[in-house]
Amino acid sequence: MLTAAGVSDLAAVGPSEIAGHLATLRTGSDDHPPLSAASAARAASAVRGLHRFAVREGLTTHDPAREVKPPTLPKRLPKALDVTQIEQLLAAAGAGLDEPLALRNRALLEFLYSTGARISEAVGCAVDDLDLREGTVLLHGKGGKQRLVPVGGYAREALEAYLVRARPGLLAAGRGSPAVFVNARGGRLSRQSAWTILRQAAVAAGLPVDGDRGVSPHTLRHSYATHLLDGGADIRVVQELLGHASVTTTQVYTLVTVERLREVYATAHPRARG
């Protein structure tokens, strides 16, 4: 592109050439198909890195990329399952496994959906953090921040069944662990193992596990927030429950509910089309 524009020296590159190059990446050319927004953003980052390097090494005296605004990635809505899909996922947890692991897997997924905990917070949870009589759990979030979150009735039942009938036997295989969720060797369950449990349950429930709409470690957390807002919860309350430092982070879930309202309107209103 630079050669076609008559530019053969890196020092001669200006903001207009960079902006033109980034625009071509998105629209495509005779030689290359258009890039997605994410791919174009990565290419723009590479261009900015090249010019910073050139200035730092004394190859050029000016960084023209600083004057070009990088492309803005479209805001991707969180993936959320509907209530029926959540029930299918929870019912499939631990399917085909021996009772201890089946009870643990069901308790883990019920816990994640009931509390909106990140997987790292769930596997980091200790028995002393749980108060099933009061129906609360103390979660240890990012930056050492703690928050007290309610635990729903279904999750309490699943946790009680696991803690009484499964966890003691699993612990016997190891040296003892304060973790709520333990593996078959009696040690703390890892994040990767928790993700595998979720993936296996999704497959058993017939839910997608690959692609943009696949069930991921954050799916239950996204679904938790979306369903709370759908049910009329105040966004500030959801912010506290999720442990977000800013309500701006939580506001993305309001976009999910608006999209759902549009879908319902489009299918239910007799004059929605046209």
> Do both 58 and 143 map to the same domain?
no
Q: Catalytic: 221?
A: yes
Q: Which of 196, 214, 232 is the last residue of a domain?
A: 214
Q: Tell me the β-bridge partners of 130.
A: 137
The count of domains in the chain is 2
- At 273 the pLDDT is 63
> Do both 204 and 114 map to the same domain?
yes
Q: Does the pLDDT value for residue 5 go beyond 60?
A: no
Tell me if 264 is assigned to some domain.
no
> Do both 29 and 98 map to the same domain?
no
Tell me if 246 is assigned to some domain.
no
Tell me if 129 is assigned to some domain.
yes
> Do both 96 and 203 map to the same domain?
yes
Tell me if 257 is assigned to some domain.
no
Each residue's pLDDT tens digit, 168-222: 999 998 888 999 999 999 999 999 999 999 999 999 999 988 876 789 888 899 9
> Do both 91 and 207 map to the same domain?
yes
**More confident position, 73 or 172:** 172
> Do both 197 and 96 map to the same domain?
yes
Q: Catalytic: 244?
A: yes
Q: Does the pLDDT value for residue 151 go beyond 90?
A: yes
Q: Which of 199, 214, 229 is the last residue of a domain?
A: 214
> Do both 63 and 99 map to the same domain?
no
Mean pLDDT of 141-152: 90
CB 135 within 8 A of CB 150: yes
Tell me if 37 is assigned to some domain.
yes
Mean pLDDT of 98-114: 95
* Beta sheet of 130-131, edge-to-edge order: 130-131, 136-140, 146-150
> Do both 113 and 195 map to the same domain?
yes
Range of the domain at 121: 83-214
Q: What are the tokens at 128? A: 């002393």
- At 105 the pLDDT is 97
Each residue's pLDDT tens digit, 74-88: 666 667 899 999 999
Torsion 257-262-263-269 (CA) sign: positive
CB 161 within 8 A of CB 153: no
> Do both 22 and 117 map to the same domain?
no
Q: Among residues 51, 118, 167, 188, which one is catalytic? A: 118
For residue 154, the domain's CATH number is 1.10.443.10
Q: Catalytic: 218?
A: yes
> Do both 89 and 189 map to the same domain?
yes
In which band, very low, low, confident or very high, does the pLDDT at 6 lie, cut at 50, 70 and 90?
low
What backbone phi and psi angles, to 5 degrees, belong to 184?
-70, -15
Q: Catalytic: 142?
A: yes
Q: What are the tokens at 66? A: 């600083």
**More confident position, 8 or 51:** 51
**More confident position, 182 or 263:** 182
Tell me if 132 is assigned to some domain.
yes
Tell me if 234 is assigned to some domain.
no
> Do both 115 and 176 map to the same domain?
yes
Q: Catalytic: 118?
A: yes
Q: Which of 162, 188, 214 is the last residue of a domain?
A: 214
Torsion angle defined by CA atoms of residues 168, 202, 226 and 254, in that order, rounded to the nearest 10 degrees: 140
> Do both 114 and 16 map to the same domain?
no
Q: Among residues 56, 66, 142, 213, which one is catalytic? A: 142
- At 230 the pLDDT is 87
Largest CA distance in the chain: 76
Tell me if 183 is assigned to some domain.
yes
Q: What are the tokens at 165? A: 């009938």
Query: What is the overall mean pLDDT for the chain?
Result: 85
Distance of CA 126 to the CA centre of its chain: 23
Q: Among residues 156, 167, 221, 222, which one is catalytic? A: 221
